């Protein structure tokens, strides 16, 4: 089964992206890129009288980078993702039931790299069934 970050990367790509959405580390190329990365966020929920993990709560960070000196492009893409993912509520995506995808903050510019490419980011806390 696909990981949470793979499922959400595919969802973003299908819904709003005009380029490939990568998973994990940000590649050097291409300049214009969106990356989804999972991180540890919250403890899993166990069931009362039910064996095993019932729900898990991974963190998801999405980063969008633009071409050199392009601030507006990655800012617009991260805003669209910020508005898109919280619409996943009580829905099955990629064969997994998601209860909630909640932004941890509003999108912001994380950095500008040595090539003057602006990177914008937003993080989410996910409530979902285990994968």
**Per residue in 58-106, pLDDT tens?**
999 999 999 999 999 999 999 999 999 999 999 999 999 999 999 999 9
51 belongs to a structural domain? yes
Q: How far apart are CA 29 and CA 40, in angstroms?
A: 27
9 belongs to a structural domain? yes
129 belongs to a structural domain? no
Q: What is the pTM of this model?
A: 0.92
Asked if residue 50 has pLDDT above 90, the reply is no
The number of domains in the chain is 1
**Tokens representing 56?**
């898990």
**Tokens representing 121?**
């980011």
CATH, residue 62: 3.30.2000
123 belongs to a structural domain? no
Higher-pLDDT residue of 95 and 53 is 95
Could you tell me if 57 and 44 are in contact, meaning their C-beta atoms sit under 8 angstroms apart?
Answer: yes
SS3 26: coil
Q: Which domain holds residue 8?
A: 4-118
44 belongs to a structural domain? yes
């Amino acid at each position: 089964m696909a990981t949470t970050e793979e499922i959400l990367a595919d969802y973003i790509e299908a819904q709003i992206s005009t380029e490939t959405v990568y998973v994990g580390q940000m590649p050097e190329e291409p300049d214009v890129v969106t990356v989804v990365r999972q991180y540890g966020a919250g403890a899993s929920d166990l069931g009362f009288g039910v064996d095993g993990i019932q729900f898990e709560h991974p963190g998801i960070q999405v980063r969008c980078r633009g071409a050199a000196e392009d601030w507006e492009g990655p800012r617009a893409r991260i805003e669209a993702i910020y508005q898109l993912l919280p619409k996943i509520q009580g829905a099955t995506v990629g064969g997994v039931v998601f209860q909630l995808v909640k932004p941890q903050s509003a999108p912001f510019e994380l950095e500008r790299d040595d090539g003057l490419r602006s990177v914008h980011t937003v993080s989410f806390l996910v409530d979902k069934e285990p994968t």
